[in-house]
């Protein structure tokens, strides 16, 4: 097995990378440990709670006991399937805010400012209903909006407007700030994963999908020459004539680097791994979004709870299988908001996903029946964690320590999120629908009571990133340079969410695909010309919260 480029991981960035390299006439092998992505639980948007809770599709990682969350171990799912996490995620599509990328650039990721990435976002998208001039119209990734025909979904946007917030017709266009429709990687009623958008077309152009678990990068005198793959108990070498590209997730990419001798020298020595390059930043800088959901009982039977029984689920499933329509054709996240927590914050730092049912991530509906909920969380937590090896055995899970809520500002931000959400739910638009507060419950009011609720109920939004941070080559904490090349070795790049210097606003699937698209161009020695487009910033941001 040999090709010009060997890509580890058929996830969001890896699939995009494979497509662009194959399109340019390069030979490509994509090595993926996970299995087939064709099952109905993956492809039916309304079934999104199933695949991320299924062992066959998920690596099944857990965080270490989180010291600031009462020692809880939080689920840290990553897709172990063709399409990676784009095949098991909630399908929400968010580019991130323009200022996120300007921050990347200012922190040493030269060439990654908003002007640099905007043309790549436009290249990767086919936007259905987005803002003209700001969105792509003929890219591989279909981005659509739900019908928003549930009255609760419309009430959420109206309540935001009544509370004095901005509205936006396209948070992925000129103006992120405000309440408006949510976008999703759904096309013709089915999940539009990176596998469907990029990998299948890449395979038609000659890219090869090779099944197996990569155990290490093969190094020869400081140069990556291939990867070792375990399949069916046997090990083989898949060789790369030009480069090896790691697109294995914010957990597995740093794990593979460390297993290959690239990482913090003392940590590798603890596990008896020969040092190839001392990069102390490998596995550091781990970031994520945390969120809570505030649940309200509904006084009218308008929520999706009416389908939360055997007959209802059978109807939804059968209708979707036969026609690709109905509740099963939507992820049900159809209204969104990005707002600022206080005056003096220049761009949104709180995100909302609204859901017209009261339900947990594991698919368990609230026992009380009809209801609705808003998922809310801060966007730019100051807390940082790490990924480390537990063993030199490639089959061992990595040690994932997020260090959630380790900064006082995190607690302040979450209390603000809860109080602002309660205010939105108290607006006239919800008066015909809102009953009592199920969670946290009206009795939970003081800072101490809110902190107790946060500690017990906060959950990951499943947006890990940052563990192979991109920066200048003379930055001792950087792992890759702005072209994705691993500093200190030759022939090895990283292209996935692990290269993010700082987490972006919103869900990370879109920015992860962007990384695959843009680093593919760096591999090919080309670049789209920058576009100078000025995003909307609230004119009174220094003195007004809304």
Residues composing the chain: 546
Determine if residue 46 is labeled as part of a ligand binding site. Answer: no
Determine if residue 89 is labeled as part of a ligand binding site. Answer: yes
> Token match 């662009």: residue?
20
Q: How far apart, in whole angstroms, are the C-alpha atoms of residue 477 and residue 471?
A: 8
Is residue 397 within 8 A of residue 390, CB to CB? The reply is: yes
Bond before 305 cis per omega within 30 degrees: no
Is residue 251 within 8 A of residue 463, CB to CB? The reply is: no
Determine if residue 90 is labeled as part of a ligand binding site. Answer: yes
Residue 113 Cα to chain centre, angstroms = 20
Residue 494: φ, ψ to 5°:
-125, 135
- Strand locations in 409-528, DSSP E? 434-439, 459-460, 492-494
Determine if residue 92 is labeled as part of a ligand binding site. Answer: yes
Give the residue from 302, 276, 285 showing the smallest Cα distance to 502.
285
Q: How far apart are the first and last CA of the chain?
A: 58
Q: How far apart, in whole angstroms, are the C-alpha atoms of residue 236 and residue 228?
A: 6
Determine if residue 258 is labeled as part of a ligand binding site. Answer: no
Respond yes or no: is residue 289 known to be catalytic.
Answer: no
Of 353, 370, 463, 538, the active-site residue reads: 463
Give the residue from 32, 300, 46 showing the smallest Cα distance to 189.
46
Classify the C-alpha dihedral 110-111-112-114 as positive or negative: positive
Residue 209: φ, ψ to 5°:
-95, 120
DSSP string, 327-393: GGGS-S--EEEEE-SSTT--S--EEEEEESS-B-TTSPBPTT-SEEEEEEEES-----BEEE-S-S-
H or E segment to which residue 293 belongs:
strand 290-298
Strands 386-388 and 399-401: antiparallel
> Token match 């809880």: residue?
72
CB neighbours of 545 closer than 8 A, spacing ≥ 6?
A: 340, 341, 342, 343, 345
What Rg, from alpha-carbon coordinates, does the chain have?
Answer: 22
* Binding-site annotation: residue ranges for FAD: 81, 89-92, 214
By annotation, the residues acting in catalysis are 463
* Binding-site annotation: residue ranges: 81, 89-92, 214
């Amino acid at each position: 097995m040999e090709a010009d480029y060997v890509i580890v991981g058929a996830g969001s960035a890896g699939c995009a990378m494979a497509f662009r390299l194959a399109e340019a006439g390069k030979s490509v092998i994509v090595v993926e440990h996970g299995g087939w992505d064709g099952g109905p639980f993956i492809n039916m948007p309304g079934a999104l709670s199933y695949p991320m809770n299924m062992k066959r599709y998920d690596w099944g990682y857990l965080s270490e006991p989180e010291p600031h969350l009462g020692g809880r171990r939080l689920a840290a799912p990553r897709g172990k399937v063709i399409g990676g996490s784009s095949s098991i995620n909630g399908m929400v599509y968010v580019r991130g805010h323009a200022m996120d990328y300007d921050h990347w650039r200012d922190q040493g990721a030269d060439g990654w400012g908003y002007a640099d990435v905007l043309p790549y976002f436009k290249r990767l998208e086919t936007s259905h209903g987005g803002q003209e001039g700001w969105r792509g119209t003929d890219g591989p990734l279909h981005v659509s909006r739900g019908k928003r025909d549930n009255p609760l979904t419309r009430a959420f946007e109206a309540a935001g407007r009544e509370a004095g917030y901005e509205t936006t017709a396209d948070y992925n266009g000129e103006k992120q700030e405000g309440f408006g429709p949510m976008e999703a990687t759904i096309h013709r009623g089915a999940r539009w994963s990176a596998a469907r958008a990029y990998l299948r077309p890449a395979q038609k152009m000659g890219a090869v999908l090779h099944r197996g678990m990569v155990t290490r990068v093969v190094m020869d005198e400081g140069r990556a020459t291939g990867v070792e793959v375990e399949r069916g108990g046997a090990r083989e070498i898949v060789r790369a004539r030009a480069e090896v590209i790691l697109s294995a997730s914010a957990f597995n990419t740093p794990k593979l680097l460390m297993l290959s001798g690239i990482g913090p020298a003392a940590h590798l020595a603890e596990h008896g791994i020969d040092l190839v390059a001392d990069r102390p930043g490998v596995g550091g800088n781990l970031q994520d979004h945390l969120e809570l959901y505030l649940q309200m009982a509904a006084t009218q039977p308008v929520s999706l709870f009416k389908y939360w029984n055997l007959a209802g689920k059978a109807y939804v499933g059968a209708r979707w299988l036969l026609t690709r329509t109905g509740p099963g054709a939507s992820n049900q996240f159809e209204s969104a908001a990005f707002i600022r927590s206080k005056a003096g914050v220049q761009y949104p730092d709180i995100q909302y996903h609204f859901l017209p049912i009261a339900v947990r991530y594991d698919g368990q509906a609230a026992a009380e029946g009809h209801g609705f909920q808003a998922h809310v969380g801060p966007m730019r937590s100051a807390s940082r964690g790490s990924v480390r090896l537990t063993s030199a055995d490639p089959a061992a899970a990595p040690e994932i320590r997020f260090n959630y809520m380790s900064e006082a500002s995190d607690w302040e931000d979450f209390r603000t999120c809860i109080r602002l959400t309660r205010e939105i739910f108290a607006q006239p638009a919800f008066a015909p629908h809102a009953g009592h507060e199920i969670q946290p419950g009206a009795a939970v009011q003081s800072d101490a009571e809110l902190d107790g609720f946060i500690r017990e109920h906060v959950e990951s939004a499943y947006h890990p990133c940052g563990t192979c941070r991109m920066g200048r080559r003379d930055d001792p904490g950087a792992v890759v340079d702005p072209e994705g090349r691993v500093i200190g070795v030759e022939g090895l790049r990283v292209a996935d969410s692990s290269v993010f210097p700082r987490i972006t606003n919103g869900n990370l699937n879109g920015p992860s695909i962007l990384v695959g698209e843009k680093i593919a161009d760096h591999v090919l020695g080309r670049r789209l010309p920058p576009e100078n487009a000025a995003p909307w910033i609230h004119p009174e941001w220094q003195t007004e919260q809304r």
